[in-house]
Amino acid sequence: MHDPDPPFRPVLRRQGYLPLEDLGLIGDGTTAALVGLDGSIPWLCLPRFDAEPLFCALLDHTRGGHFTLAPEDLVEARQRYEPDTGVLVTELRSRTGLVRVTDALALRSGADLTDSAPADRSELVRSAVVLDGHVRLRAELEPRGGARTRALFSGLEVLPSRRPGLRLHLRSNRPLDGLHTTHDLRQGDRLDLVLSWGRVHRHHRVDTEAMLTGTAVAWRRWMRHFDYGGPQEPLVRRAAITLKLCDDWANGSLVAAPTSSLPAPIGGIRNWDYRYTWIRDAAFAVFALRRIGFRGEADAFLGWVLDAFEDSGRPRIMYDLRGGPVPDETEDGELEGYQRSAPVRWGNGAADQRQHDVYGEILDCADQWVRAGGEIQPALWAGLATLADAAEEAWREPDQGIWEVRSEGRVFTYSAGLCQVALDRAAQIGERLGLPIRTARWRASADHLRRLILEQSWDERANTLSAHLDGGGVLDASLLALPLRHVVPIDHPRMVATAAAVAERLSAGGGLLYRYLHEESPDGLAGDEGAFVLCSFWLVDNLIGQGRTEEAEELYASLCSRASPLGLMSEQIDPSTGEFMGNFPQAFSHIGIAASGVNLARARAGVRR
């Protein structure tokens, strides 16, 4: 549960790994790092989110590499964020003393985080202060594959063996004779470390206090735009910051998660690289960000989607952060995987899958762009019109669906629903802008497809819409998203019955939902998985739309209570233990926290969606 002032707790590991709940996220709009409750940094990709990791002990605790700043004889610890910032504080208690470590990926002094421009300094700041007693503080910087060093001005030049082109500089307020040092410190003493890359900082003075203060000020200035008065406000505030930490500020794109290959479940093979931008995340993210005050980020993401589509010449389900193709999927046989869950993967093999929902995702983004006052130039409109024409036929063909199954495709109801979205939004854009091209036909096709979905996917015996357009009563939690995308009315009797069926038959207990049941819907992969967090937030939204606000509030509170003490959420949750699974932190889950909170606040105020 999110706790701004958490108690100390023992540092526990499983097979050498911290649980995901014991990791915090810091970032600077170009990359992100995870900081452990034990004072380690087991994950940092440089210079960007999707680059090769410099530290990835997260995926192999002996060979992956880490940057640790912690006292010997560590007994217990706690973590918290400086309020309304991405600055993380870890307090670590040894047998002889207490030390506070403050971590941040530093931002430029005076940075305006609402601006679509880089704000990073290419510097990781780690500042340790002894609060009580005395400690022997270990400072260990160990890139994956090792590194050579040489003395350089106020620190060391670090040359990673695997990354000869990555120039690192480690500076300190105390002498460093190597990458593994121990410092005897007493109350009031401090050890400051700054790891720099990309730019030359060797002549800069080490002033971590100023860097941390400037970073915190920039974050708080950005948070002045936060506008939300609904339930779980502290957690929604943290969700907003977490989404910003997953955002590429210069490009406007958003990583699905800043990590790769965290398994769902432990020991399974469902280990994917999420450090890319999925188009389907766009509409959900834009909805959430715009409604909690961050219109600039919403518009930047919409613009990025339209640019990526126009530049690529064809709709892709995902892009890299610059709008280019995602690298081919490869397996890294050198790393054992988180808690020995191999394989570790880089790149994503789903990038070239056929997923028809992408038509609706792109056109929905275009519609939101126009609603926000954006312009559609003739060349872009021609591409969007072609996309709508394709959607008019594509829904009839099998695809891999929203969950990117790696089995033979089916005609998924959700995919057909998003083709309906494509037609509906194309018609809306054409009507709003006075663009007559095929508008009437798109409107008629959208209306026909809506009726067809309600009729053909309906299974009378099971009393539910089905995962596949040919019926059969097989369930998929993505059906809960149909009314959220305005494919079918949220209070339509068949949608109400479907929500009830999903809540009952896909229940993992405690308000959690599975995406689908693997025995009913084989996906081409071995093993089961955990409960998918976002699906439960979709159920919250459906309950709100049905007028069952008290039930929705109870479910929302239950889901929010599952956040880590730092207010972070993973992709999935193990329903038997409550432990986090999958890539972490997952943007989709934090989108759910914000979006469902907004919907509840509006329901309380009597405002219709």
Max CA pair span of the chain: 76
Instruction: Among 101-110, 300-309, 335-344, name the one with the lowest average pLDDT.
Output: 300-309
Q: From the CB of residue 489, how many other CB atoms can be counted at a distance below 10 Å?
A: 15
Cβ(274)–Cβ(246) under 8 Å? no
Q: Residues of the chain with pLDDT > 90: what percent? A: 80
267: nearest Cα among 333, 341, 335: 341
What is the b/e burial string over 281-293, where b = at least 16 CB atoms within 10 angstroms of the residue's CB? bbbbbbbbbbbbb
Cα–Cα separations (whole angstroms), residue 529 to 77, 517, 552: 31, 9, 25
pLDDT score of 206: 82
Lowest-confidence region among 69-78, 318-327, 429-438: 429-438
Q: Is the pLDDT of residue 523 over 80?
A: no
Could you tell me the two tokens for 159?
A: 């040359």
Q: Which pLDDT score is estimated for 521?
A: 79
pLDDT for residue 201: 55
Of the candidates 49, 583, 46, the one whose C-alpha atom is nearest the C-alpha of residue 276 is 49
User: Which residue type, as a one-letter code, is found at position 458?
Assistant: W
CA distances to 258, 489, 580 from 7, in Å: 27, 46, 20
> Residue type for 381, please?
W
User: How confident is residue 563, by pLDDT bands cut at 50, 70 and 90?
Assistant: very high
Residue 148: the pLDDT is 94
Round the average pLDDT of the chain to a whole number and report it. Answer: 94
Res 387: pLDDT: 93
Name the phi and psi angles at 336, rounded to 5: -80, -15
Which whole number is the average pLDDT over 200-219? 84
Q: Which amino acid makes up residue 276?
A: Y
Mean pLDDT of 162-170: 92
Structure tokens at 342: 């191999």
- What is the pLDDT at residue 199? 67
Both structure tokens of 416: 């057909």
Determine the average pLDDT of the residues in 544-558.
Answer: 98
Three-state SS for 305-344 is HHHHHHHHCCCCCEECCCCCCCCCCEEECCCCCHHHCCCE
pLDDT for the residue 203 = 54
Confidence of residue 202 (pLDDT cuts 50, 70, 90): low
Average pLDDT, stretch 57-86? 98
Per the DSSP assignment, residues forming a β-bridge with 158 are 149, 168
Asked if 256 and 276 count as a contact pair (C-beta separation under 8 A), the reply is yes
Q: What is the mean pLDDT of residues 468-491?
A: 95
For residue 180, what is the enclosing H or E element?
strand 180-186
Give the tokens for residue 40: 């380690």
Q: In angstroms, rounded to a whole number, what is the distance separating the alpha carbons of residues 180 and 202? A: 20
**Three-state DSSP class for 40?**
strand
CA-CA distance, 584 to 559, in Å (whole number)?
16
393-449 pLDDT per residue, tens: 999 999 998 998 887 888 999 999 999 999 999 999 999 888 877 899 999 999 999
**Mean pLDDT for the stretch of residues 369-381:** 89
Phi/psi class of residue 356: alpha, beta or left (left: φ > 0; alpha: ψ in -120 to 50)? Answer: alpha
Q: How confident is the model at residue 551 (pLDDT cuts 50, 70, 90)?
A: very high
The residue assigned the tokens 């590429």 is 248
User: pLDDT band for position 526 (50/70/90)?
Assistant: confident
pLDDT tens for residues 241-269?
Answer: 999 999 999 999 999 999 999 999 999 88
Q: Report CA-CA distances (Å) from 412 to 15, 281, 520.
A: 40, 19, 14
